Amino acid sequence: MNLSHLARVLVLAWTVMLSFQAVATETGLWKQSNEGNPSVIDHSRWDHILSKYLEISDPSGVHLFRYVEVSAADRTQLEQYIDSLAGLDPRKYSRAEQKAYWINLYNALTVDLILKHYPTKSIKKLGKSFFSFGPWDDKAVQVAGVPLTLNDIEHKILRPIWQDKRIHYAVNCASYSCPNLAAEAYTSDNMERLLEQGARDYINHERGVSLRRGDLLLSSIYKWYREDFGNSEADVLKHLERYAGPELKKALEGFDGDIDYDYDWRLNEVK
């Protein structure tokens, strides 16, 4: 084989690979569902991990994970859980089951990723590329023959398909400022309760919303994904008011001061 022919073969192979990877970004691929399928997906192994290693009573109000305590057996349990989800084609299930599937898969993959690189101070320090901000664009799993990244799951599947702003309170990035990792696996039955609880808990915690010297300090989530919460800061404030407790709601109503944004990327670990 001469060099020019080899070069053409390599270019073709590279093009095919890029085209295959691009499929993951096609939201339409994942819009299919089978509403006639009454089957539910088993998330019991994820429930086991959460009940054993997630600390939900820390005085900070942040759910912290005991990464250092996870046993070899439970790491295997987590990997088997991820493999079990990856072995399913979510399109064969109802839309409600799919929503729980993708949220749980995202969160389980994130915990597994931290465990594989622990100890680390922040998820931002992970990532295969030298210039990467974190691991979100690295291949994390293969579902129905399609390689997916964490960003694919969140931004190409969950957000565009369900268009539910509360998704941001469900997916967890293993960081202090992230909305709490739920203490139980999401299911089609508990979805609404957990999403509402997640929104309410985050907005009424200082890492979500706080007032400081007359200014409003919000989580950067409300800046990064403003379009999900509305077209303006006023729309964001209306969303916050919906879940705010009485005192915070009063402060938010008619607020016309400065709004700042911040995010703490420290690992959500029990120390």
Question: pLDDT per residue over 210-230, tens digit each?
Answer: 999 889 999 999 999 999 999
Residue ranges per structural domain of the chain: 28-202, 209-262
What's the chain's average pLDDT?
92
Confidence of residue 133 (pLDDT cuts 50, 70, 90): confident
- In order of 49, 127, 171, 212, the CA distances from 122 in angstroms are 21, 11, 17, 26
Tell me how far apart the alpha carbons of residues 97 and 93 are, in angstroms, rounded to a whole number: 6
Mean pLDDT of 128-144: 89
pLDDT at position 65: 99
Mean pLDDT of 129-135: 80
Confidence of residue 24 (pLDDT cuts 50, 70, 90): very low
Per-residue exposure over 95-106, b if at least 16 CB sit within 10 Å of its own CB, e if not: bbbbbbbbbbbb
- The pLDDT of residue 20 is above 70: no
- In order of 27, 78, 229, the CA distances from 159 in angstroms are 10, 25, 12
Question: What pLDDT, in 10s, does the model give residues 166-200?
Answer: 999 999 999 999 999 999 999 999 999 999 999 99
Locate 249 and state its tokens. 């709601």
- The pLDDT of residue 148 is above 90: yes
